[in-house]
Amino acid sequence: MLPSNRENFQKDKLKFVYFELPSALKSLNFSCFVIGESLSFFGSWMTQIALVWLVYQLTNSAVLVGVAGFTNQATGLIITPLVGVLLDRWNLRYVLLTTQLVSILLSSTLTFLTLSDNINVAWIIAIGTIQGTVKAFDLPARQVIIPRLLDKKSDTYSAIASHSFLINTAKFVSPMIGGLLIARSGAASCFLVDSMSYLPFISAILTVKVNPVINNSSTQKSQIWNNLKEGFVYAYEFLPIKYLLLLQIIICFMGMTHVNLVPIFAQEVLKGNAETMGFLMTASALGSIVSGIYLISRKNVIGLGKIIASSAATLGLGLIVFSQSTNLEICLVFMFIIGMNNTLTLASINNFMQSILLEEDKRGRVTSIFTTGFLGILPFGNLFFGALAGYFGVTSALLFGGICCILGAYFFSRQLPRIGKIVHPIYAQLGLLSQSNKG
C-alpha cells in the first residue's frame, strides 16, 4: 500500500506541475530567449516611465508630454507594415542584435545627458524618434521569431501566452522600482538600469537555436509593395480580422494612452510624486499579470469574442470612474481594473486573430499590421490626449477616452454574430467545435 500511495502521490505531483508549467516553457531554447527578453522589457518600461516624468518636470506641460510620446512611436505607423515584409527576408538574429545594441547606445546617451544636466525636451524628442524607429523593427522581430524557437508547432499558442505573461510580469515590477528610483536617485538611474538590461537578452539571442524557414518563393525586391498591399487587402476583406483590428485601433488610441496621463494625474489630481506614479503603474501592471494568467489557463479561442467585447467595455468604465476619483486607494483599485482589461482586450485580440488565421503566408504581414496599432496609432493617441489634457484637464481626457472605449466595445459586440458565422467553419477545421459552436 505504501509504495502504491507513494507512486500515486508522485503522479499527482507531476500532473500538478505539468498543469502549472506551460508546455512552451519546457523548451530550454524558448525559456532562455523569453526570460532574457522580459529583462530587457523591464528596463524599457522604466525608461518610458522616467521619460514621461522627466518631460513633465522640465516643462510642466501636458501638451509636450503628448508630443514626446508621439515622437517616441510615430515612425512605427509608416515603417512597421513594411518591416513585416522585410523580416521574412532578413536574418532575425542579426536584426535583434542590432536593435539591442542601438538601444544600449540610446539609453547610455540619456544617462549621460541627464547626469551632466544637459538633458532637455529637444534631446528627448530626438532620441525618442530614433527609439521609435528601433521599436518598429524590434517588436515585430520578437514576435516572428517565437515559432522558430519551438520544437513543436503545437506549442505556438502556449509560447505566445507565456511570452505575454512574462512581459507583463516585467511591466508589473518596473513601474514600482522605477518610481522609487526616480524619487530617490533621479531619472538617470532608470536610464542606466535600462542600458544594462539588454545584456542578458543579447546573450540569449547569441545562444538560442533558431529553426530555419523554407522560403518557397524568390521574393524579389520588386514584389515588396505588392506583398504589402496583399496583406492589407486580406486584413480588410476577412471580416473577423477587420473588426478585431478596428477595435484594437480604438483601444490603442482611446484607452492605452492613459499611461502617458498617469504622471500628470498623480501630480495634479492626487497631489503625489514619482512614488505615487509608480504605485499607480504597478497596480495597472498587476492587473495585466492577472489577465495573462487567465489567458494561459484557456485551452482554445472559443468564446474569446465575447470576452474581448466585455473587457473593452470594462476598460472604458474603469477609465471613467478612475478619472473622477481623488482618493489614492480607490485609484489603485481602478488602475488594477484598467490594466487587467486593457491587456485582456489587446492580448485576446492578438490570440483570436492568430488562431483564426490559417493562411501562413500572410501571418507575418497581418501581425505587422497588428503591431502598427501599438507603434503607429498609439503615438497619435498620445499627441491627441496630451493636447486634450492641456486644454480641458487630465480628468476630462481620461473620461473621454473611457466613453469611446465603451462605444467601441458596443460596436464590436454588434458584429459578433457575423464573426461567429465566419469562424464556425474554421473552428470545425481545427477540431474545436466539441465544446461550443460560438465565436
Cell numbers placing 220: 524579389
Distance CA 394, CA 254 (A): 13
pLDDT tens for each residue of 404-435: 999 999 999 999 999 888 888 877 776 666 54
Whole-model pTM: value is 0.71
Distance CA 76, CA 92 (A): 18
* Residue 309 banded pLDDT, cuts 50, 70, 90: very high
Cell numbers placing 262: 498617469
pLDDT (0 to 100) of residue 360: 59
Ranking 95-104, 165-174, 339-348, 405-414 by mean pLDDT, the lowest is 165-174
* Among 283, 393, 301, residue whose Cα is nearest residue 342: 283
Which domains, from first to last, does the chain contain?
A: 26-209+222-430 (1.20.1250.20)
How many residues are there in the chain? 439
Average pLDDT, the chain: 79
pLDDT (0 to 100) of residue 439: 46
Residue that has been written with the C-alpha cell 470576452 in this structure = 307
Mean pLDDT of 200-223: 71
* Among 316, 307, 306, residue whose Cα is nearest residue 405: 316
pLDDT over 60 (residue 222): no
pLDDT tens for each residue of 311-346: 999 999 999 999 888 888 898 999 999 989 998 998
Mean pLDDT of 360-379: 71
Return the higher-pLDDT residue of 75 and 108.
108
Distance CA 182, CA 54 (A): 9
* Residue 220 banded pLDDT, cuts 50, 70, 90: very low
**CA dihedral sign, ordered 213, 216, 218, 219:** negative
Ranking 1-15, 393-407, 417-431 by mean pLDDT, the lowest is 1-15
pLDDT over 90 (residue 370): no
